[in-house]
Amino acid sequence: MSSPADIIYVDELVGSDETGNGTQTAPFKTAIKAVEKSDGDNNVKIQVKKDEEGFKDISGAALKKAKKSLVEQQRKAKKQEEQKKKQEDEQAKKAEEEAKALEHAKSIVLTEDETLPKAEKIKIRQGVESRGKRVKVSGWVHRLRVQGKDMMFVILRDGSGYLQCVLTGKQCHTYDAITLSVESTITVHGVINALPEGKTAPDNHELVVDYWYVVGKAPGGDDAFNNKVTTDADPSYMLDNRHLVLRGETASAVLKARAEVIKAFRAHYESRGYTEVTPPCMVQTQVEGGATLFEFNYYGEKAYLTQSSQLYLETCLPSLGDVFCLAESYRAEKSHTRRHLSEYSHLEAEMAFISFDEMLDALEDLICDVIDRIMAHEPTRKLIEQLNPGFQPPARPFLRMKYADAIKYLKDNDIKKEDGSFYEFGEDIPEAPERAMTDKINRPILLTHFPADIKAFYMQKCDDDRTVTESVDVLMPNVGEIVGGSMRMNDREELLEAYKKEGIDPAPYYWYTDQRKYGTTPHGGYGLGVERFLAWLLNRYTVRECSLYPRFTGRCTP
């Protein structure tokens, strides 16, 4: 007689081959598993439950089928096992061969052929003029392509350009060649030759290497540059790794264009007779309202990071005439928009003895002349073409539009507030409707005559309507406001009144007020956000891309 332990139970409805053990309470799912468990013991019975009728002895045919299936299963498993082992053996052999090859590679040493002419050190930008001569170039491995055992193509980058270098034969067999990784620094010696028709490389030439060495190896594997900086990474990760992102073609093109644009601004001011000044960043006065001041402790006194150098520029007019500055301005803006930074490069200018219309003309002249200068400079024109293909300089004259007409425009074009109501005269036009209007008009706008109540305390009121000011914002498609400017109050009494209205203590502003005491004059100026100008010119989605290391709410690193 068999004991109950000699019965193996299979429940095709609720059993499990993984967690069951063949008892009635924990049955298997398949007869195959039961056959496996019986281990060829013919005394063991198998009972199967297929439906509500309960466990029944397995039929002869079913048992035969299960035994056959088990044999088949075991045969397959064995084969898989054998295959796996074979693969592992092959991998181990390959690794061993590679290790041997690497070990061997260490013994391959390149030496410079002393009979060749001495290699002259150049930067990549000097490549074209150095063709045919033996040169020495150092840089970072921007891209790397290995072609067979005897040829490697390296695109070298040194910040001044990109250069294709070809390594051949023994040069590809050294330990450093085999383990070379992107972003490693290397020095190459050789001759730059023009490429034949049909082949492409930067500047249409390549350096045929006769000697090279590694200066600093970058990691490969998981820590490799290309695994760290990927185009699909999320923006916050990219900002954490901005120091690496900057090496990319787009980010570096933006920075290069930025440097050229700044040069063009300076050249413009130089040609128009302005003097550059360098005002302080640490101040004890506000310009654009207390809400966005960054405060800090200055040897026990309250001080701020400057919001604008305007007040200081005004004080320079009597000694230097028209002046400009390019300085960092700081705004504690909680807004997380694509055009707000906490620290930005602020280009500001101030002019004496001018009318409001003359100031608007000067602004239009600034923007158009700077664009003309940039487009006339071939390398910069190419950068703009790379970043903003099809860019067309804006046509003159710019559209001049009064704030009151903008309010009307918003109504006529059904541009509303979130609550569905229209903007009314006297209300600030925020970023979204401003951009909706600018994008629709699709050309630069000089938006003028803002109500005094929504503008800074120092702005000159219009003679014929004291409710509005001689003020201007320059609006550009895709970005919106890139410039804010105005004529300044030049009457001392009126300015003292304005402080009072704004709740500002006039005492720390004595030097600004004095400006109206010792020879006042009509004067005005403006501030241009360099990152916003660049976002427009280079068609960048956000000003953050136009700043070296952007600062905004929640980010002050790297």
Q: Which is nearer to ligand 4AD, 160 or 337 (CB)?
A: 337
Which C-beta is closer to ligand 4AD: that of 142 or that of 331? 331
DSSP state for residue 548 in the 8-state scheme: S
Closer residue to ligand 4AD in complex, CB, 206/314: 314
Query: Which lies closer to ligand 4AD via its Cβ, residue 11 or residue 481?
Result: 481
Q: Per rule CB under 6 A, is residue 166 in the interface with ligand 4AD?
A: no
Q: For ligand 4AD, how many residues bind (rule: CB under 6 A)?
A: 24
- Pair of tokens at residue 306: 């400057």
List C-alpha distances in Å: 151 to 90, 154, 177, 185, 411: 27, 10, 10, 19, 67
The 3-state secondary structure of 45-94, one letter per residue: EEEEECCCCCCEECCHHHHHHHHHHHHHHHHHHHHHHHHHHHHHHHHHHH
Q: Which two tokens stand for residue 346?
A: 């602020």
CB-nearer residue toward ligand 4AD: 161 or 394: 394
Q: Give the residue from 257, 255, 252, 225 showing the smallest Cα distance to 241.
A: 225
Between residues 206 and 545, which has the closer beta carbon with respect to ligand 4AD? 545
Using the contact rule CB under 6 A, the part of the chain among 5-13, 85-93, 157-165, 338-346 near ligand 4AD is: 338-346
Identify which of residues 141 and 313 has a Cβ nearer to ligand 4AD in the complex. 313
Strands 134-147 and 120-121: what pairing? Answer: parallel
Q: Taking the complex as a whole, how short is the minimal distance between the CB of residue 389 and ligand 4AD, in angstroms?
A: 25
Within a 13 Å sphere around the CA of 153, how many CA atoms are in the beta-carbon half? 13
Q: Which stretch binds ligand 4AD (CB under 6 A): 77-85, 197-205, 207-215, 337-345?
A: 337-345
Structure tokens at 455: 């503008």
The residue among 137, 228, 139, 220 whose CA lies nearest residue 181 is: 220
Asked if the bond preceding 397 is cis, omega within 30° of 0, the reply is yes
Q: Which of 15, 525, 537, 542 binds ligand 4AD (CB under 6 A)?
A: 525
Distances (CA, A) of 376 to 385, 386, 392, 393, 475: 13, 16, 13, 12, 24
Contact call for residue 340 and ligand 4AD (CB under 6 A): yes
Smallest distance from the beta carbon of 441 to ligand 4AD, in angstroms? 18
Nearer to ligand 4AD, 20 or 527 (CB): 527
Choosing from 532, 536, 542, 545, the residue that interacts with ligand 4AD (CB under 6 A) is: 532
Taking the C-alpha atoms of residue 105 and residue 128, their distance in angstroms, rounded to an integer, is 34
CB of 302 to ligand 4AD, least distance (A): 21
Q: Which of 212, 344, 512, 536 binds ligand 4AD (CB under 6 A)?
A: 344
Alpha-carbon span 525 to 168, nearest angstrom: 61
* Min dist. Cβ of residue 470 to ligand 4AD (A): 12
Task: Output the smallest distance, CB 137 to ligand 4AD, in A.
Answer: 38
Which C-beta is closer to ligand 4AD: that of 452 or that of 528? Answer: 528
Query: Which C-beta is closer to ligand 4AD: that of 257 or that of 482?
Result: 482
Q: Which of 264, 384, 543, 546 binds ligand 4AD (CB under 6 A)?
A: 543
Restricted to residues 452-481, the positions that interact with ligand 4AD (CB under 6 A) are 481
Taking the complex as a whole, the smallest distance from the CB of residue 530 to ligand 4AD amounts, in Å, to 8
| Amino acid letter, residue 404 | A
The least CB distance from residue 271 to ligand 4AD, in Å, is 21
DSSP of 313-371, one letter per residue? HHHHHHHHSSEEEEEEEE-------TT--SEEEEEEEEEES--HHHHHHHHHHHHHHHH
Which positions from 279 through 318 interact with ligand 4AD, judged by CB under 6 A? 287-288, 308, 310
Q: What proportions of the chain, in percent to the nearest 5, are helix, strand and coil?
A: 40, 25, 35
Is 105 or 504 the residue whose CB approaches ligand 4AD more closely?
Answer: 504
For the beta sheet containing 301-305, the strands, ordered from the edge strand earlier in sequence to the opposite edge, are: 282-283, 301-305, 294-298
- For residues 478-517, which are near ligand 4AD according to CB under 6 A? 481-485
CA distance 193 to 131: 6
Question: At a CB cut-off of 8 Å and minimum separation 6, what does 254 contact?
Answer: 387, 534, 538, 540, 545, 546
Q: Between 119 and 535, whose beta carbon lies closer to ligand 4AD?
A: 535
**The binder of ligand 4AD chosen from 190, 433, 529, 550 (CB under 6 A):** 529
| Residue 527 is a binding residue for ligand 4AD (CB under 6 A) | yes
The number of beta carbons lying within 10 Å of the beta carbon of residue 347 is 24
Q: Give the shortest CB-533-to-ligand 4AD separation in angstroms.
A: 7
Q: Does 341 bind ligand 4AD (CB under 6 A)?
A: yes
Of the candidate residues 158, 328, 333, 405, the single one contacting ligand 4AD (CB under 6 A): 333
Phi, psi dihedral angles at 509 (to 5 degrees): -100, 15
Binding residues for ligand 4AD (CB under 6 A): 287-288, 308, 310, 331, 333, 340-341, 344, 346, 348, 481-485, 525-529, 531-532, 543
